Amino acid sequence: MVKADIMPISFAEFEKRFVPTPNYRINVPWDYLEENLARWTDSREGCAPLNLEPDFQRCHVWTTEQQIKYVEYILSGGMSGREIYFNCAGWMKDWVGPFVIVDGKQRLYAVRQFLANRLPIFGDYPGATKKAVLKIKGFYRSEIEGRLSLNAQFIFAVNDLKTRAEVLKWYLEMNTGGTPHTPEEIAKATNLLAKCTE
């Protein structure tokens, strides 16, 4: 029940604040990731070249362990964290750009490291040998036969916001909500899992 002194508001008023929704989405299997990125970073394709290091993005902050965990999670069937967001002013029109990555830089980099044989995965799998020079245990992409499963793919979503201010606002809206887990919170869940398997 609405109090008499509070006027109800139309949901349409809130819609004015809605986060922009990308109008273009494509599934990109990891086996074709570099091919797709090369096409987008090549300005000869008639589109502004894709910038994977725009000035508003943070540096590569994921540790090697975090990169490995992400790649293993997706290859094991994990479903969340697959979308990579971009913005290109004039997308599907005049392609004027700039064309930038807005969200997913860490995930994209981790997968590219794996595909380039710089990130060993599944070090706890039987037969995963320790590499003599790197002293890291696991399998590189070149040691895995055949194509990766269809599960190993990104969803590229491209928005067409027109101004830098709109892009920066979108970036901030995506990255200022929520709180990352602390090491203590992760340890708590890890300990609970250990008790379940005892």
Task: Tell me whether residue 6 is in a domain.
Answer: no
pLDDT tens by residue, 103-133: 999 999 999 999 999 999 998 888 777 877 6
Q: How far, in whole angstroms, is CA 108 from its chain's centroid? A: 6
Of 70, 84, 107, 96, whose CA–CA distance to 158 is shortest? 84
Whether the pTM exceeds 0.95: the reply is no
66: in domain: yes
8 in any annotated domain:
no
- Which segment of 9-18, 72-81, 170-179, 185-194 scores lowest on mean pLDDT? 9-18
Task: Determine phi and psi for 85, rounding to 5 degrees.
Answer: -105, 135
Where in the sequence is the domain holding 50, given as residue range(s)? 20-175
Q: Establish if 167 belongs to a structural domain.
A: yes
Of the candidates 94, 106, 73, 88, the residue with the CA atom closest to the CA atom of residue 41:
88
Domain count, the chain: 1
Asked if residue 185 belongs to a domain, the reply is: no
Decide if 188 is inside a domain. no
Which of 39-43, 78-82, 119-123, 165-169 shows the lowest per-residue confidence on average (mean pLDDT)? 39-43
Q: Establish if 198 belongs to a structural domain.
A: no
In a domain, 4, yes or no: no
- pLDDT recorded at residue 187: 80
- Please check whether residue 88 is in contact with residue 97, taking contact to mean a CB–CB distance below 8 angstroms: yes
DSSP for 21-60? --SEEEEEEGGGHHHHHHHHH-GGGSSPPEESS-TTS---
Nearest to 51 by CA among 89, 107, 99, 87: 99
